[in-house]
Copies of this chain bind each other. A is one copy, B any other.
Amino acid sequence: MKKYRVGILGATGTVGQRFVQLLQGHPQFEIAALAASERSVGKTYAEACAWKLTGDIPENVSGLEVQPIEPPLDCDIVFSGLPSKVAREAEAAFARAGYPVVTNSSCYRMDEDIPLLIPEINADHLGLIPIQQEKRGFGTGFIVTNPNCAICSFAPPLAALHRKFGVEAVMVTTMQSISGAGYPGVSAMDIADNVLPYIAGEEPKVETEAQKILGSFTGQAVEKADFVVSAQCFRVDVIDGHTVSVRVKLAKPSTLEDVIEAMREFPTLDLYSSPEHFIEVLEEPSRPQPRLDRDRGNGMTVTVGRLFPDNIFDYRFVGLSHNTVRGAAGATILNAELLISKGLI
C-alpha cells in the first residue's frame, strides 16, 4: 500500500509530539518532514524537541532536520499542531501551495467554508472543500479542522441524542487536564492542591463548535444545529483526559433505555484509527474516570457514564475523552484517514 508522506507543522509542541507518536507504525502515513518555529530550524528533531511522552523519540524521526513553517515541504499532506496565532497565515500558505492541510488549530474552525469534523458524525461536511477552494483560491489545496478537545468529550453522545431525539439545550461543566494547555502550559504552582475556574478563550469555543459539528450540510453550506450550549470550564490536576458533566434537554421524550441504545449503537467507522466502539456507555457507578478510561480504543473511544434522568433537563451524564488523542492529534489523523477513504487526497 502506498504510504502518504506527512509534514508536521509545530512538530516539537505537545500536539506535534503526539502526531509523531501516533504515526509510528501507521499503515497509511510516514513522517517525511518536520517544521517548527525559528529557534528549532536547522536542528535535528532530537535536539529541538523536549520530548515529554513516555519512552524515547522514535528513531525514524530523531535525526530529521527541522524545517521552517512555510511551503514547500517535501510531503503529500500537512498535519498542523500550530498555536492559533501563527496557524492562520501558515496554514493558508500551505493550502494555497496545493497541500491538503489537516489541522488541530482553532483559528479556522468556525469559518463557514471550513469543515469542522468528527468523522463518525459529520463526514458529509467534506462537501465544503470545493466551496472553500473556490472562495479562497486554494487550487487543489484545502483545510479541514477538528474540534476543541473539550467538545470531543460530549459532542459524540450529544450527536447520538440529536440524531434520534433532537437536542434543545445542553449545559456542560468541564474538568480539563493540564496537557490541554500544552508545554510548559500550566504552572505546577497554580494547579497543585487546586482547581482553576478559568481557561482563556475556552468557554466560547465550547459553546459554539458543537452546533456546527451537528449541523446539516445543504450542498452549499452547513446549517448549524439550533440548540444552545452553556459551558463553564475548569482545569484540574489530571495529566490527560477531559471529564465533562452534561445535562441535556431533548426535543422529544425518550426512555433511558432508548438513550443508552442511541449512544451504544452510534456507528463507528472503518478507518485505521477508528476505535471498535466510538462511544462506550459504562454502568459502574464510579466511571468514567480519566486515568482508567482515557486510553479506551487507544484513546479514540469516548466514554459515557452516570447516565440518568435529570430533574431539570431530560438526562444527565458524564463524558470523557483523551484530550491529546481523540481531542487533538488522533482527531487530526482520523480526519486525514477520512480524506483518503473519500479519495480527497
Contact = CB atoms under 8 A, between A and B. Distances in A.
A8 to B, nearest CB: 20
A251 to B, nearest CB: 15
A23 to B, nearest CB: 19
A285 interface: yes
Interface stretch (A83-91, A239-247, A265-273, A336-344): A239-247
Contacts of A195: 175, 236, 238, 243, 289-290
A198 B230 contact: no
A175 B286 contact: no
A184 B186 CA distance: 8
Contact of A197 (B14, B52, B243): B243
A107 interface: no
A221 to B, nearest CB: 24
B197 A178 contact: no
Nearest to A306: B197
B192 A178 contact: yes
Nearest to A169: B312
A3 interface: no
A178 B189 contact: yes
A96 interface: no
Interface string A300-319: 00000110001111001010
B188 A289 contact: no
B193 A238 contact: yes
B237 A188 contact: yes
Interface in A274-309: 285-296, 305-306
Nearest to A14: B189
Contacts of A234: 175, 243, 245
B236 A197 contact: no
A197 B313 contact: no
Contact of A178 (B188, B286, B316): B188
A26 B20 CA distance: 29
A171 B310 CA distance: 10
Contacts of A173: 173, 232, 245
Contacts of A171: 171, 247, 312
A197 B311 contact: no
Contacts of A312: 169, 171, 228, 230
B188 A187 contact: yes
Contacts of A179: 189
Contact of A193 (B239, B247, B287): B239
A285 B271 CA distance: 41
Interface in A177-208: 178-179, 183-198, 207
